[in-house]
Structure 1
Amino acid sequence: MIRSLFRKLLWLALAATLLGTAGIVTAYLLVAGSLPKVDTLADYRPPIITRILSDDGTVIAEIYKERRILVPVERIPRQLIHAFVAAEDSKFFQHRGIDLVSIFRAALKNIQAGGIVQGGSTITQQVAKSLLLTPEKKFERKFKEAILAWRMEQKLSKEEILYLYLNQIYLGHGAHGIQAAAENYFAKNVEDLTLAESAILAGLPQAPSRYSPYRHFQRAKDRQRYVLKRMVEDGYITEAEAEQAEAEQIVIHPRVNQHVAEAAYFTEQVRRDLVETYGAETVLTQGLEVHTSLNLEMQRAAQQAVRNNLRNYDKRQGYRGPQKILSEADTVTFLAEQTRRLRRRPPVAGDYLRGILTGFDSRVLQVAVGDRRGLLPRDSFKWAGNLRFLSREDYLKTPEDPESDQILVPIGSVLELRVTRVRPDGSLELSLEQTPEAQGALVALDPQSGQVKAMVGGFNFADSQFNRVTQARRLPGSAMKPLIYAAALDKGYTPATVILDTPIIYKETRDSGEETEWKPRNYGKKFYGPTSLRTGLTHSRNIITIKILEDIGVNYAANYARRLGIVSPLTRDLTLGLGSSAVTPIEMAKVYAVFANGGIKVSPAYITRILDRDGKVIASVDPADFPDGAGPGQRLLQQRRERVISPETAYLITNLLESVVQHGTGWRAKALGRPVAGKTGTTNDLKDAWFIGFIPQLVAVTWTGYDQERSLGRQETGSRAAAPAWVAFMKKATRNFRVRQFNVPDSIEFRPIDPKTGLLVPEDTPDAIIEAFAPGTAPTRYALDEDRPKARDFFKLDLEEN
């Protein structure tokens, strides 16, 4: 009977085996034909990072869908490979894609749990799932995964599978692949990782968030201990090596690319250009290497100059009061959170941060910054005006007085501060600050090539991504005058031409029949009589500009401005000469670059070279990169160079703008101690302040104003509100530039003249000046006391020259 039962069980087992085999074969036949081809893995091209580089090759930004940097197996240290194998698939080098023991163990766990809770996947299966299948947890997917893993082992070597796995795997905090993770957590390349660091990374695949060294360091250390233990058991390291690695002090270096913040406006402009040319998907996934014109040292100087200038301007407008006033309970919460942040990154001199007012006396304020004590001397914030410090209780009892100019600052006030010094005991010496409400912009470019060297589009990119260099159209005020004067020079004027600075009135009858008057005036509300063209521009005389503009014709001047590079709409009336047509700073930089470049216009450029993911040059400004000519998918980034004015006109305007710096409204630029040409720009209502200036090697434009237009305040002209940023930037940007004179065309003629008449005088005449003239335009008559001609006035016939 027992024998009979045994035979029956044997037959049942055999039948079950046959049925199971048949089922497996049937399932295999059903799904095998629909599975992806393993051959595609031979050309593994996952999404990788597009990197944007400055002119010295420093990475200033990364654009990606998945932050991944491919590394060949040859670069990966064996201890890192062994760490991952020990942690994820100890039989990796023995099995052929499927580890039946692991699968059986996982199956028991899943049966007990009533669903899939453990995968038992080999590294090969993980690659199959990641690259060829969807990630859902179903038995059907696991079956497909096993088939593909077996096929992969037939086609690929173990080294090739490891290459795929270690470059594809997600390791938390946006890091795909081991190189990105090494940079993320340790600021290293994979070949520089220690055994201890390798074990930390190898512990992440199971649950990157749970074992994050950033957020859960102790969990990461526990997981590291497990990985090291597995490595010992598998014979990859000794007990002593494991103990040494476990004892090693791990320092986590969160990946912070400071350059990204400094160059954010510039890199966003580059990103837009790339997307427009290649499409968003290519830029996000195809790992372009984009070389740009940005000079990192200049960029840092530009950002600092704009921010410091805005802070100084803002202080001139007075203190607006504390950011907020906290209760005692809210103060405790605020300081506890701040303490946690400051322990991760302790404050250093120059940092801007917030603090809570905790006490005060006649000499100093006491401030809490996290768990640190801060001191704020009263005499360090005289700029803030009339402040009254008081307790919380007194503040609540003090009625508001709209007539008072006093600002109440009670205990619990949140103050914006700057660290001036960190004392040995950790306490802080501070200064009072406030975030400016006004905005600023700065752009600098090489006038010969048009390459943009620095760009700051606002006070802080994190708060506002609107790029005021390229997107904000603002009134240029007097900065438009050099364009009108250049047009006049080409119409027969000379720097010595004399014009009467006298009152003028324009009357206009509207469609409604109402008659209006326009009485233009100079900034100082004075009129100066006979004035040379040079003096008119040097001192930015509005009346002189308007009279010149009416004489040469508004349409002529507007078309001339278009030729120089203005693309924004232009007002076709006499207010054009006073800057009534809104333009962008990048347009003004392009126009002034024409003067600096001897009359040749070049368009602003940001990108100098682009390589694809395989290192092939696909775009370049250098024809040498395409010795046989640009082929398919390649393009030469040629800068169109167009002569738009003569070298003589360009030089004369430059020379006139040198006078603006030496004797006029651009006087601050003299601080450079080298030949400089420049012009301030101020609107009548002081809503916009500009300074535009250049040396032979560099043009820079600065602008200051409010996004929601309003007056900058009394006396906040281009000279006061914008020029300091220009000077601060140029001092740093040009310190390695050779001092050069502006190029003088050989055809320029120099003659001694009488500044009052614009006519020739003997060289030894007192008060004579040497003036520059385009060929054939110098005066031929001499000024005699008894026969001095009258000044030109195009609006009073009795004063016209005969």
Structure 2
Amino acid sequence: MRRLGRWILALTKWAVILLLICGVMSVFAAAGTYIYFSRDLPKISSLEDYQPSVVTTFYSEDDRKIAEFYKQRRIVVKLSEMPKHLIQAFVATEDARFYEHEGIDLYSIMRAFFKNLEAGTIVQGGSTITQQVAKSFFLTPERSYTRKLKEAILAYRIDRHFTKDEILFLYLNQIYLGHGAYGVEAAAQNYFAKSAEELTIGESAMLAGLPRAPSWYSPHRHFERARQRQIYVLNRMVSENFITNSEASEAMNTNVTIEKRPNWFQETVPYYTEHVRRIVKEQYGEKLLYTGGLRVYTAVDIEMQEQARKSVEKGLRDLDKRQGYRGPVRHISRKEIEAFSRKLQEDIEDQALHEDLIVQGVVVDVDDKKNKTTVRIGKNVGVIPLEKMRWARKPDPEVAPGVIRVQRPGQVLRVGDVIRVRLESWDGKNQQWNLSLEQTPRAQAALICMESDNAHVRAMVGGRKFSESQFNRATQSRRQPGSAFKPVVYAAALDKGYTPATVIADTSIVFTDDERDFTWKPDNYDNTFHGFTLLRDGLIHSRNVVTVKIMQDIGVDYVIDYARKLGIESQLDRNLSTALGSSGVSLLELVRAYGVFANQGIRQELVFIRRIEDRNGNVIYEAPEEKESVIDKSTAYIITHLLEKVVTEGTGWRIKALKRPVAGKTGTTNNLYDAWFMGYTPRFVTGVWVGHDQEKSLGKNETGSRAASPIWLDYMQQILEGRTERVFPVPDNVVFAKIDAKTGLLPNEDSEKVIDMCFKEGTVPERRTKTEDEIADTDDFFKKGIQ
């Protein structure tokens, strides 16, 4: 027995020694493993200055959101701005022992280890929230034990270095929750169109169910899966005593509405925001734009911008209809109508039909006796009365003689035609839509509107539809302005000693260039010479020859330098045709130039951005209030006065319908390629261009007056409605005098027409018009073409 006892004692002693040796070896192994895998691990102190990639947001003039730009759509919010139940939902689901462990949950790790061992592969993880933070910030997403060891080491360090709330702040702002949303704030906006602090328990539970597989449980794509996952999260919250059974039941029985997150860039003011995006990128770089969390406050007025889009669309459709009907989108057989309608119904299922919407439909009946056409729009039916399609004559009847005015529907449509229609109104009695025939315009247009007092650009449209063409015709295009350039020439002349009463001979003139074997004979639009013409009439009635002669007299270089002062930066050709707007300029440049006239000679740079703040709210840019007087007030006012007469007496006659003080000028180029109207009231300067991207005629008689000014008028009528009427202020050094409309001199008792003109002080004509008796005794008093 003693021998047995000694053996047992010796065996126990060696076992203890062996265990001690194994323990020491394990400690050394663990230490070695820790040291080995700790090599090159990043320092967690970098988390103290958490600067993640954050959304840059653009705002309108009244601080409404209009656009977002980002690489990761993340909006950082404080933990205190998140509801308690949102935090609890994530903790209950992702890491129930979060407040108990030190960054690593050994129980969860062992459970996952045996599950993976049983499966023969990695099927489950034991990651804590802290480990997820470590992986998200410092490691790759690979699934390996090496990465898990590094993750555990980092998690332990993070837990020792940061508080639990600080870790949750990092986690809830960093985590990816699907559809481009990083963090709970972006996800709340993505799925529920509200901020995180407004989330209900049910909505919070649905978000907390996403980290496991954001695509699989997406409420947008797989609502039922998201719903089942939400129920799981709610049950976990009950198990952890975060909420009661009754609160969970109420959340389960409350419908969660999933909202479609607006595409801010495409749907609000795309041309404007794209222009601002380019400016910010150029000044601050791509990285800061897409990751810096900038807050860019623009000058755009959302309602004015929307009205600009509508006016451009309306003007282009009216122009297009004046050119005639180009035929259906396509034609299908009667057998294909049913299948086509089913497919069309699927296409329009996502958008509710409403008044003023333009959609495709297929003609199912043409009734010439009742003068109506029946159109099927998916499962809906509509009727086009004859009056809503009378415009649909064949294009260009001079080339292809045909119907000038539609007399019956059968002249235009037939069964099987796939056409575009506008939903005018719903006929509840007959359960059908009242429709009008439409077609997609081919021409393009651009519009810029700025407030003259501060040069803030309130609206900018760069084309008919941004989704089809991102090219901004308001800023990126250079087109011939035609007669819209003439006010620059006339303003330059006023500063060279001319007055509105100066007489110029509107007679034939020929310019030759022997070196290039070139001959140019300018002509007026009406192909008529008008003899001796007052400068005022040359501008009011847009006389080409008068304008060219003025430029010849004052000098091409002088006019070009003058244009530069007004803000025209494009290359201007050093020849006399520049007087007629033959050199391409941008709409933006012309608006800036006309803004000088509207603002009493003061030039200001157009303001698209009011200020920019960094992610911390520090102002890094503010629009300068720089104003430069570039021409005399009297010159600016006289041009304004003359441009008012363009509206009341000249080519801008359509604008009289505004019934307010307004100055403006039409512009039309050769072959009717470009149509312009540049105009301003005492408050707003607005410019409109209409044309084709690939230069071709807009159509017979489609001048600036007919094609562009209606867009300008429609827009200005809408934005000025309800605003107080203003008048153009008259400078102190401007005087008015009655002048003989024929001679430009003081009138006499024989003067047939006397008009009021404004002059710079000291330039009123001193001579009196000769009477008929005096003229009979002398030669023609016009000794020179220019007085």
Structures share a fold, TM > 0.5?
Answer: yes
Structure 2 match to 1:164: 170
Structure 2 match to 1:719: 705
Which aligned pairs between 1:517-528 and structure 2 lie closer than 5 A?
Answer: 517-528=519-530
Q: Is the 8 A contact 1:791 1:800 kept in 2?
A: no
Shift, 1:110, TM fit: 1.9
Identity of aligned residues (%): 48
Q: Is the 8 A contact 2:748 2:770 kept in 1?
A: no
- What 5-or-longer segments of structure 1 have no aligned partner? 388-400, 622-637
Greater shift in the superposed pair: 229-238 or 196-205: 229-238
DSSP-derived class of the 2:227 partner: helix
Greater shift in the superposed pair: 12-21 or 244-253: 12-21
Q: Does 1:650 align with 2:636?
A: yes
Match of 1:706 among 687, 692, 715: 692
Shift, 1:456, TM fit: 0.5
Structure 2 match to 1:213: 219
Shift, 1:369, TM fit: 2.6
Cα deviations across residues 599-645 of structure 1 (Å, max 9, x unaligned)? 12112121111111111111113xxxxxxxxxxxxxxxx24422221
Q: Does 1:437 align with 2:445?
A: no
Q: Is the 8 A contact 1:420 1:431 kept in 2?
A: yes
Distance 2:8 2:417 in 1: 93
Structure 1 match to 2:499: 494
- What 5-or-longer segments of structure 2 have no aligned partner? 404-409
Which aligned pairs between 1:580-591 and structure 2 lie closer than 5 A?
Answer: 580-591=582-593
Shift, 1:708, TM fit: 0.2
Give the TM-score of the pair, scaled to structure 1: 0.90
Q: Does 1:273 align with 2:279?
A: yes
Cα deviations across residues 619-678 of structure 1 (Å, max 9, x unaligned)? 113xxxxxxxxxxxxxxxx24422221111111111110100111111122222111000
Shift, 1:101, TM fit: 2.0
Structure 2 match to 1:660: 646
Which aligned pairs between 1:351-750 and structure 2 lie closer than 5 A?
Answer: 351-362=357-368, 363-385=371-393, 409=413, 411-424=415-428, 427-511=432-516, 516-621=518-623, 638-750=624-736
Shift, 1:67, TM fit: 0.8
Which aligned pairs between 1:68-467 and structure 2 lie closer than 5 A?
Answer: 68-257=74-263, 260-326=266-332, 335-336=341-342, 338-362=344-368, 363-385=371-393, 409=413, 411-424=415-428, 427-467=432-472
Q: Residue 590 and residue 12 in structure 1: after superposition, are their counterparts in 2 closer, same or farther (change >3 A)?
A: same
Q: Is the 8 A contact 2:486 2:581 kept in 1?
A: yes
Q: Is the 8 A contact 1:757 1:791 kept in 2?
A: no
DSSP-derived class of the 1:382 partner: coil
Cα deviations across residues 767-791 of structure 1 (Å, max 9, x unaligned)? 3222111122111111121345988
Q: Residue 149 and residue 422 in structure 1: after superposition, are their counterparts in 2 closer, same or farther (change >3 A)?
A: farther
Distance 2:744 2:132 in 1: 86
Q: Residue 353 and residue 15 in structure 1: after superposition, are their counterparts in 2 closer, same or farther (change >3 A)?
A: farther
Structure 1 match to 2:407: none
Distance 1:562 1:11 in 2: 96
DSSP-derived class of the 2:217 partner: coil
Q: Is the 8 A contact 2:358 2:420 kept in 1?
A: yes
Distance 1:577 1:683 in 2: 12
Greater shift in the superposed pair: 195-204 or 237-246: 237-246
Cα deviations across residues 394-416 of structure 1 (Å, max 9, x unaligned)? xxxxxxx9987798755444322
Shift, 1:374, TM fit: 3.1
Distance 2:142 2:364 in 1: 55
Distance 1:99 1:329 in 2: 67
Q: Residue 268 and residue 675 in structure 1: after superposition, are their counterparts in 2 closer, same or farther (change >3 A)?
A: same
Q: Residue 732 and residue 136 in structure 1: after superposition, are their counterparts in 2 closer, same or farther (change >3 A)?
A: same
Q: Does 1:23 align with 2:29?
A: yes
DSSP-derived class of the 1:208 partner: coil
Q: Residue 15 and residue 728 in structure 1: after superposition, are their counterparts in 2 closer, same or farther (change >3 A)?
A: farther
Match of 1:63 among 65, 69, 84: 69
Shift, 1:469, TM fit: 0.8
Q: Residue 236 and residue 345 in structure 1: after superposition, are their counterparts in 2 closer, same or farther (change >3 A)?
A: farther
Cα deviations across residues 447-496 of structure 1 (Å, max 9, x unaligned)? 33222111100011111111111110000011111111111111221111
Q: Is the 8 A contact 2:366 2:414 kept in 1?
A: no
Q: Is the 8 A contact 2:645 2:663 kept in 1?
A: yes
Give the TM-score of the pair, scaled to structure 2: 0.92
Letter in structure 1 aligned against 2:542: S
Shift, 1:386, TM fit: 5.7
Cα deviations across residues 176-196 of structure 1 (Å, max 9, x unaligned)? 111111111111111211111
Shift, 1:286, TM fit: 1.1
Distance 2:711 2:477 in 1: 18
Cα deviations across residues 695-718 of structure 1 (Å, max 9, x unaligned)? 122111000000000011110000
Q: Is the 8 A contact 2:747 2:769 kept in 1?
A: yes
Letter in structure 1 aligned against 2:454: S
Distance 2:394 2:337 in 1: 25
Distance 2:23 2:123 in 1: 27
Q: Residue 73 and residue 331 in structure 1: after superposition, are their counterparts in 2 closer, same or farther (change >3 A)?
A: farther
Cα deviations across residues 218-252 of structure 1 (Å, max 9, x unaligned)? 11111111111212222222222222211211211
Shift, 1:736, TM fit: 4.5
DSSP-derived class of the 1:769 partner: strand
Task: Count residues in correspondence.
Answer: 766
